[in-house]
Structures are given as structure tokens and as C-alpha cells.
Structure 1
Amino acid sequence: VVVANGRNWSTSVVGSGNDWLQVGNWRLAAGRPFDAAEERAGAAVCVLGATVRRQLFERADPLGQRVRIKGFSCQVVALLAAKGQGAMGNDQDDLVLLPLHTVQRRVTGNTRVNSLLVSLRDGSDSDAAKAGLTRLLRERRSLAAEDDDNFNLLDTRQLADTLSGTTRVMTMLLGAVAAVSLLVGGIGIMNIMLVGVTERTHEIGLRLAIGALERDVLLQFLIESMMLAALGGLAGVLLAAGACGLLAGLMQVPFLFSPAINVAAFVFAAGIGVLFGYMPARRAARLDPIEALRHD
């Protein structure tokens, strides 16, 4: 728990050096990194994540202020730039960074290191790097050849591949649901237009009798069908945007509104109206004017 400015906030405390910023692609929004003397001495200095800064200080400037972490006070020397949600939905900005020796001496009370972050150069062989790290850790932990590893190695590339595979499956499932929805909606539009042709048979016959061409009637019903589907598509886009915005606020996850995707969805919905409205429009255009005028 971090306490400052009359407020407290439960957060993660990370003990590391400035290399952690580089490996994690972190940028400083304000302030300075730890200097070498502070890292060696385990000085009482800290860097606040964006969430911690907002919860403790709101709009006030925390630089130079002191916060209390587990009974000791440390000075805020920098602020991390916001990153937002991580791949697993965690808040990456909810943390406080201190020098490693500071955490070991004043927070955990031991010299153990819970995790290591390793960044490879572009083009490096990650499998070879994992094998080398495994050998090094087994050697440092004095494990015999028959002993199992008492540590875990997590390759973020493999995690990203797994998440990408899950995303592809979800995309396919949602695409199938959308296809069924479009089919059902298209059939509904076709039925509505067929009923409309039946109820307006006399009107259609009158138009044909006074000189309207088949293509005029065909175009009229295609436009009506397209407008019906387009209005449904517009309503769907607006409802989806509202629902996503509401869920994003409730779940504290970012929501990105893509104009291109929504315009494409609107146009596709209008196209569905033309496709499923063609048969009713064609039937209306081919009515016999004489028979149509006799229709009550």
C-alpha cells in the first residue's frame, strides 16, 4: 500500500534499475531516472506509474513529494508515461518503481530476485537464448542433470502467438455469428418487401399503366430495400458503439472506434438489402398492369 497526500492506494512495487525501463519500453513523462549512486546505495527514491500518480495526487505535481511504502518514506523523482492495459487485461500503469537494493532492504527484507526480464536484439534466435538462459539458471541454482527446473521461462513471443491464435478463432466464431445474423436479417427484409409488393399491387399496376418502365419499378423497390437495410445497419453501428463505450468504462479497458470498419459495416448492410430485395423488386417490376389494377 502506498500512502501520500492523505490518500492510500494498493499497488505493485517493482524493484529494479534503469535497465528495466529500456527492456520494458517505458518512457518517463517527467523527472529523471535513478542515478548510479542511488541504485548502489538503495536510496529512498521512487518512480510512480500513471495510475498511482492519478489516485494519490490527481492533478497535483508529485515530483519532489514523498510517499510512504511499507513504513518508509521515499521521494518521487520521476513519473512513467501511461501505457494502458496489457495483453492480459492488467493495468500496466498501476506500479511504483524503486531501486532493487531499496526493495530488498526495506520492502522484502531479503536479497531474492523474483523475476528477470531479458530483451533480445532484433533477429536473435529466441530458442537459443532460452536454452542458454536455462543452462545458466540451472548452473546458478546448482541443479543436477536429473533435477527438474525450479524456475519458469516465459517467451512473450509464444504468448503473443497464443493470443493471436485465440483472437483468430474468436474472429471466425464472431464472423460465423454475423453471417447467420445477416442471412436471417436478409430473409426478413425479403419477406417484408414481398408483403409490400402484395399490398401495393394496385399502386404498382397504376404506375405501369401510366407509363412507368419495369426498370423504374425495379429501382424503386431496390432503393426501398436498401434504405431499410441501411437504417438497420446504422442502428446497429450506433448501438454497438454505445455498448462498447459503456463496457469499456465499466471494465476499465480501452475502446477504439474505427470509422473505416463502421462505414464498411454500414455499406455492407445496404448491400445485403439490395441482394435480398432483388427478388421482390423483380416480381413487382414484372406484374401485368391489367391484372395488378384488378387487385383489391
Structure 2
Amino acid sequence: MNYKNLIKIALKALSNNKFRGFLTMLGIIIGVASVIAMLAIGQGSKRSIREQISEMGSNMIMIHPGNGQFGGVRQSASSMQTLKLEDYETIRHEASYIAACSPTVNSSGQAINGANNAPTTVYGVNADYMDIRKYTVGRGEMFTEQDVKKAAKVCVVGQTVVDNLFTAGEDPLGRTIRVNKIPFKIVGVLSPKGYNSMGQDQDDLIIAPYTTIQKRVLAITYIQGIFVSALSEELSDRAIDDITAILRQNHKIKAGDEDDFHIRSQEELSSMLSSTTDLMTVLLACIAGISLLVGGIGIMNIMYVSVTERTREIGLRMSIGAKGRHILWQFLIEAVIISVTGGVIGVMLGIGASAAIKYLAGWPVFVQPYSVVLSFAVCTVTGVFFGWYPARKASNLDPIDALRYE
């Protein structure tokens, strides 16, 4: 069997109907391009979410009071007082696999500077909080451990707070603002971080010593949470197990009893968001894959028409010695050429469309090599699958009946 000759015959047959061949390819082209572009959008979104979570601290662990029951009534986590400064101190000194640790208390209210005011949140933390949350001081300096011990009324503010309170462009360093009627001297301004993946403004905050917020703003002795940074993202689970054991021992929780605290990690949030984006990516790819199915049906339809139009040619070739398998391969090669050529054009169009979406719409897009290989493989299989039956029909034609066909 001379495959080279069969390919020449298939190319010649397709060149006789160029426009019809292009229209047949169109379904494959659109399908492949759509699959590549949709997978690129999905993967781009996934990478963007992971990068934004990494900016918030990919190895961050958050400890909050858990739900509890008093007199048969379940209390909300916000009303619980199960975390104490002793818990923070124990975790800080005894926990393994952690790099930084900070207690947290916070209060929402109006920040006021002269005639300007704006709602914001003030967070009471220590200096480790900056490393845990990946914040940096752009101007000025961070408050010191001595400020924490003295419960000094100093703070570091985000850029959004500066924009809202210093509308005339004044230098905020050294100025005093009021939060819930308590004066705070600004010693530093945070470098801008923008919005996170959940749409929260990471620059709309005030950071102050936790002792100041505890004593002067909230008048409480307990803490509302503990933020911890694991040595690495891979060690987050070990750090969580270690912290859990420490807190259960501190709180004298018996084996089998429910914890009175909750521990969450950024890795957990990242996995949840990644699974959501993966589901959306698969959904988009399936919708785009319908175009490949339509394209495959188009190939089958055109091959049926081609077999009908060339019945006499088939009969003539079989009468001079061509066997059924030669006819089968001739039409199968035509179907594969249509699908592969459409696949090549579709790959180029899909990569081009992905680039256009990235630069024109500003969406996060990432074309992975596997999506190109997968799309090309699928379109090739599509050509073979949908071209097989018409080719088989052509190979089974009776030469005498074919020659008599009008």
C-alpha cells in the first residue's frame, strides 16, 4: 500500500473543493481555539488567585475562638473569650514549625483628622504581624516592642486611610488622628497592596499595638485571635497539629471533647478556591468542546457527500485493482487532513485569542502546553472517529454497482 500516493490523491480531492473543505474545518478550528482560550482563562485565574493568596501570606495560620455552649445555648465565636494572652505566649515559646506569632484584637469605627473622617478598622497586633501578612512600611517606621509594652498610642496606617483623611496631600507622619475618640500618632505608612482576591481593600486599615487596643479602645483582657506564620507552606499542617495540642492542653480539654477554638490556614483557602476555579475551567472546556463535536459531525457529513459524489471514481479504481482497504485509507486520510489542518489553525487562533484577551481585556491568562497538545490530539481523534464510517462505507461499495451509479 503506497501511503504517499494515497495522501496525494486525498490532497487533490480536497483541493478540488477548497471552500467546502474550509467550511468543514471551521467547526474544528473554532472548537480547538475555544478549548485553548477557555483553559487559558481558567488556569490564569487559578494562578492569579494563588499569587494573591501568597501576597497575603501563603503559610499564614489563623486561630480564632470556637463556638461554645453555656446553659444549653450555643454562643457565637465573636462572643467567646477562650483565647488569652497566655495562649499566645505558650505558642510563641513552645510551638515548633512556626516563624512568627502575633495576637490580634480589632475594632471598627470612624478615623478622624480635622474635618475629614472615614470608617475603617484598627488592628491591635505586634511587630511579627507585618511578616505574617506580608506588609511593609513604605514611609516612617513600625512601632517597637517597647511601644507594645507601654501600650503607646501610636499607629501605622494604610494608604486608603491616608487618602481619606489627608485629602490636601499633607504628610501624615507625626500627625495625630482619632479612632473611637482615642488619639493615635502616625509613625508609619504601609506600602500599598491593593485589593485581594475576595475584593477586600488591604490598604484600608490601621495597625496599632495590641495592648493599646485592648486597654484603651476595647477594655478587654482576652484576645480575639492569634496569627501565626509557619516555617513554610509545606509545614503548615504540622504547625497546626502542634498548635492544636498546645491549646487543648492550655484549655484543659479532655480527649473526645470539642475544641473551643478554630484553626484555619491559607493553604486551606487556596485549595478551596483552586478547586472552584478547576470546576469552572472544566465547565468552560466542556462548553467549548461542543464545537469540536459539531465539527466532527460536519466532517462525517461532508465525507458522506464526498463518497456519494465519487461513487463512479471508487468503482473505477476498484475495477483496476484497488482493494477495499485502499479506498478506506484514501477517505480516512482525507478526514484526518481536514481535522489536523483545522487543529493547527485552531491552535494558532486559540493562542492568539488568549493573548488578545490578556492585553485587551486585562484578564489573567496562562496557556499551558498540555492544553495545546490535548486539543490537537482530540481534533485528530475526531477526524479518525467521524471519518471512519463514511470511509468504511466507501470501501464496501460493489465495483459493478459503483460503475453504474449516475
TM-score, normalised via structure 2 length: 0.49
Given the alignment, which residue of 159, 164, 189 partners 2:295? 189
Give the residue type in structure 1 aligned to 2:375.
Answer: A
Query: Aligned residue for 1:160?
Result: 267
Closer, same or farther in 2 for the Cα pair 1:17/1:34, shift >3 Å? Answer: same
SS at match of 2:225: coil
Contact 1:40/1:101, CA 8 A, preserved across alignment: yes
Measure how far apart 1:88 and its partner are: 7.0
1:231-285, Cα deviation, whole Å (9 max, x unpaired): 4995699489959x98xx9xxxxx642233xx54344223222111124545677
Q: How does 1:106-117 map to 2 (within 5 A)?
A: 106-117=216-227
Query: Aligned residue for 2:140?
Result: 31
Measure how far apart 1:193 and its partner are: 0.8
1:40-95, Cα deviation, whole Å (9 max, x unpaired): 33333211235545665699585515443223443332233455666877554442
Measure how far apart 1:175 and its partner are: 7.3
Given the alignment, which residue of 7, 14, 20 partners 2:129? 20
Closer, same or farther in 2 for the Cα pair 1:156/1:91, shift >3 Å? Answer: farther
Contact 1:201/1:293, CA 8 A, preserved across alignment: no
Structure with the larger RCO, 1 or 2 (CA within 8 Å, 6+ apart): 2
Measure how far apart 1:97 and its partner are: 0.4
Root mean square deviation, CA, Å: 5.1
Segments of 5+ residues of structure 2 without an aligned counterpart are 1-109, 318-325
Closer, same or farther in 2 for the Cα pair 1:258/1:176, shift >3 Å? Answer: closer
TM-score, normalised via structure 1 length: 0.63
Corresponding pairs, count: 274
1:103-130, Cα deviation, whole Å (9 max, x unpaired): 2344224444222334566776643432
Query: Aligned residue for 1:265?
Result: 371
Closer, same or farther in 2 for the Cα pair 1:292/1:69, shift >3 Å? Answer: farther
Measure how far apart 1:98 and its partner are: 0.9
1:214-247, Cα deviation, whole Å (9 max, x unpaired): 778655543432454564995699489959x98x
SS at match of 1:160: helix
For residues 53 and 257 of structure 1, the distance between their equivalents in structure 2, rounded to whole angstroms, comes to 33
Contact 2:312/2:405, CA 8 A, preserved across alignment: no
Contact 2:135/2:191, CA 8 A, preserved across alignment: yes
Determine whether 1:132 maps to 2:243.
no
Segments of 5+ residues of structure 1 without an aligned counterpart are 250-254
Determine whether 1:80 maps to 2:190.
yes
For residues 91 and 78 of structure 1, the distance between their equivalents in structure 2, rounded to whole angstroms, comes to 18
Give the residue type in structure 2 aligned to 1:276.
Answer: T
For residues 268 and 132 of structure 1, the distance between their equivalents in structure 2, rounded to whole angstroms, comes to 49
